[in-house]
Structure 1
């Protein structure tokens, strides 16, 4: 008898019929002799709807504590309904919120990290022959404050819980039947990968691939959690995420990801002085603002310009932080630019194959598109470009690296097959 953690995203439980389908799938696994813990996200667009509602009631960014109280209700609805559906099929089931399941987090609202898991209640419920259903995305601080883990945090909940209870397998169910070489909604002939390494998956997740949350991959890698991504709409074999993945013949680039949540901030006229960048990026880090690509121009007449990317949601906050240190740093002006996208290629074979970067530049320039910023590492390369022709760029890169297949990718339910 194996212990399995099964995670279902919002699209998988988006309505009553989909909820019934998930309930049957879980009940079937139980009948096969497995012990099952199920982690569930909020139904469909519930989280977005709750955010929109809060914006109608508050001018500006709503209080973060109350937003965590609000957004955590979406998963609570899902776990109760799924438990009801499973019990309706004759199986024992019990639902727990994140804090009832022992998810303890740091004291940060909106994007807290799990610090500890005390799964005693979950283990006891399993021993009592229950299917255990846990709310993803949420936890509680040591002093009892409800927190959320950030968008996509249900993946993190599932993997962290799998590690805490020593599960034999963690299955991430979504609306695609595995990890593809790129978004199959953009490239219909994207290639489904049988395996992918933790490192490659982590890069793709960090670079915008929405199939797995980056922190979930980190947990899986650090705790050696057996992880598989598969569709909640089919029984097709999924993609296994593991320490070392077998590289398919000729696939130097394994995946292409994109991130539309990108803005560029520029500090113009920064006086040349030791420690300036430490002041700038130290202040941003203290404000919990993640910075990605950084580019600094050469020094001219004692002045330099520095540009970097942040998420769109952090632009105004970042500019406020920068204005607060203007007297100390002495820069002339701070500007920001949206309407950008970061397109990235990922592959463990890139480090030992020359010409990978040239192919990317050639494919983008052949479309007459300018590259604004570039970032590289051993297994990835990113270009920041204007987002108006994103799909063309992804399709061109996918073909340029030989990733196109003859079969069309599966996306969504049976009626949505393309």
Structure 2
């Protein structure tokens, strides 16, 4: 019997009516002959509420108890989904992470999956169970404590189960009907993609597209799990949504597949740093230890043994970065004249596997921004991505200009 994994996000299970609607979709797949593993998130807004309660109770909370509290949202949804399916005469039961068991490491609040034994669920399928409803986002540590996989972790749960059970596909149901060339809220010309390569989706997810969690795409690419992103609120045909798949499954690739952006960026510059061997390690080592997620890095030309070092990071990590740099200066590890933070910037990126075989993408991107009189502050590139840092006030204009320049608009 083939196994299909279906994941329903928080908006898809936000009310009992929506749970019933999701259950009907599951019922159709059971009727099509699949054994179904359903991964559910907490009802929309519930996890935020639970996190708020923890933070209000304890400023410096025990991460193990944090996981015990915030994982409860998924437990409620899993039970309600199983009850709804049973009312439809579909043999179903709910499973918490520890019952599977989904085994993780001990990094509470951001645990990594280590193993998903299939024995327990496979045995129940053999006994006649048709649907295993699993609380997403949660697992169990080697010490026997409940763990959670970090925000958006239900996506990761779904892909991991699809890999473990050799599922025919992993369907991610959400509040959008697929992956678009850019955010439709910025330009109504945005077009839904029928297919997108794992590498492109990974870049888009890491650059700000919130359709899929980055870790879930990494996992899907590693284990070659085909992902399909669909809307919970529309009737989906066989070819609905967007299929995230290997590059070779895409007949002809666009040079650029999408334009991504992130508003919550900051540009930080260490002014007049000693230009010597090991200076980059002395700067970025403490930043890494402080948990600062550095992205773009630019070093100016050295003059008289001094240089400026610029890097970008999420805006909510600026204070942490400043603290790490000043502490390193006090320890004598680095010497700089000043540290300047610009928190009024945004990152815009173009992504496409077609860049590998096409020259001139960077020139076209820079020309489109120049035509709109948008100044570029920092540039970084990879094999299939070009990102720039610009003033935040030009973000929407930049996205629209690049979307038009690369011909990504919807047809007709």
What is the aligned counterpart of 2:388 among 383, 387, 402? 383
Which residue pairs with 1:165 in the alignment?
Answer: 165
CA distance in 2 between partners of 1:309 and 1:109 (Å):
27
Which residue pairs with 1:329 in the alignment?
Answer: 334
Aligned residue for 2:71, secondary structure, equals helix
Deviations 1:104-123 (A, max 9, x none): 22332332221222233222
The size of the alignment, in residue pairs, is 405
1:246 aligned onto 2:246: no
1:255 aligned onto 2:254: no
Call closer, same or farther: CA 1:306–1:63 in 2, change over 3 Å: farther
1:272 aligned onto 2:275: yes
What is the aligned counterpart of 1:338 among 338, 343, 355? 343
Contact 1:80–1:95 (8 Å) recurs in 2? yes
Which residue pairs with 2:42 in the alignment?
Answer: 42
Which residue pairs with 2:194 in the alignment?
Answer: 194
1:217 aligned onto 2:217: yes
Which residue pairs with 2:76 in the alignment?
Answer: 77
1:400 aligned onto 2:399: no
Q: CA deviation at 1:65?
A: 3.8
Contact 1:102–1:120 (8 Å) recurs in 2? no
Contact 1:105–1:113 (8 Å) recurs in 2? yes
Deviations 1:256-302 (A, max 9, x none): 11122322232222212211211322233334433211111122232
CA distance in 2 between partners of 1:260 and 1:284 (Å):
21
Which residue pairs with 1:185 in the alignment?
Answer: 185
CA distance in 2 between partners of 1:347 and 1:3 (Å):
32
Q: CA deviation at 1:188?
A: 2.2
TM-score w.r.t. structure 1 length?
A: 0.90
Contact 1:94–1:125 (8 Å) recurs in 2? no
Which residue pairs with 2:51 in the alignment?
Answer: 51
Aligned residue for 2:269, secondary structure, equals strand
Which residue pairs with 1:117 in the alignment?
Answer: 116
Call closer, same or farther: CA 1:275–1:112 in 2, change over 3 Å: same
Call closer, same or farther: CA 1:26–1:372 in 2, change over 3 Å: same
Q: Which moved more, 1:162-171 or 1:329-338?
A: 329-338
Aligned residue for 1:218, secondary structure, equals helix
Contact 1:196–1:245 (8 Å) recurs in 2? no
1:137 aligned onto 2:137: yes
Which residue pairs with 2:360 in the alignment?
Answer: 355
Deviations 1:212-240 (A, max 9, x none): 11211111111111222222222141222
For structure 2, the 5+ residue unaligned runs are none
CA distance in 2 between partners of 1:287 and 1:115 (Å):
25
Which residue pairs with 1:318 in the alignment?
Answer: 321
CA distance in 2 between partners of 1:339 and 1:82 (Å):
44
For structure 1, the 5+ residue unaligned runs are 408-418
CA distance in 2 between partners of 1:394 and 1:73 (Å):
39
Which residue pairs with 1:7 in the alignment?
Answer: 7
Aligned residue for 1:95, secondary structure, equals strand
Which residue pairs with 1:128 in the alignment?
Answer: 127
Which residue pairs with 1:416 in the alignment?
Answer: none
Q: CA deviation at 1:99?
A: 2.7
TM-score w.r.t. structure 2 length?
A: 0.91
Pairwise CA RMSD of aligned residues?
A: 2.1
Deviations 1:144-173 (A, max 9, x none): 233322222211111111111111211111
Aligned residue for 1:154, secondary structure, equals helix
Q: CA deviation at 1:57?
A: 4.3
Call closer, same or farther: CA 1:48–1:390 in 2, change over 3 Å: farther
Q: Which moved more, 1:363-372 or 1:14-23?
A: 363-372
1:207 aligned onto 2:207: yes
Deviations 1:166-205 (A, max 9, x none): 1121111112222211122322232222221111111111
Contact 1:179–1:229 (8 Å) recurs in 2? yes
